[in-house]
Amino acid sequence: MPGFVLDQTSMVTCMHGGQAKATVPFPRVKLNKQAVVTQAAAHMVSACVFNVSGAPSPCVNVMWTTVATRVRAGGAAVLLVDSQAQCVPNGTGVLVAPSQIRVRGT
């Protein structure tokens, strides 16, 4: 399915409210002066408050499982608003909110 391409300002959160940021967006391709984010860029999660029986078990990073099939940047698939991911180590999903709504990919 087509979806908006994510850039470095797109909001990605774990299901527990932690913020995930791309550590290395692809700087050679830009949307509205913001670098696009590819599957190769690791997303680190901060401020996750998930607990298991009172013991902290926060989400640490995000592994993207479905990404764009036809659009690439630097050889890596770009991330779309409808891309699916799982948080590590909990396996919960993520919520994605695009920051730009002009460029779509599939």
Q: Which residues pair with 62 in a beta bridge?
A: 43, 87
For residue 2, what is the DSSP state?
A: -
pTM for the full model?
0.91
Residue 1 confidence (pLDDT) above 80: no
CB neighbours of 3 closer than 8 A, spacing ≥ 6? 80, 81, 82, 83, 98, 104, 105, 106
* pLDDT tens string 19-45: 999 999 999 999 999 999 999 999 999
Domain count, the chain: 1
Q: Which domain holds residue 32?
A: 3-105
pLDDT value of residue 98: 86
Which CATH number characterizes residue 55's domain?
2.60.200
Is residue 2 over pLDDT 90?
no
Distance CA 54, CA 63 (A): 25
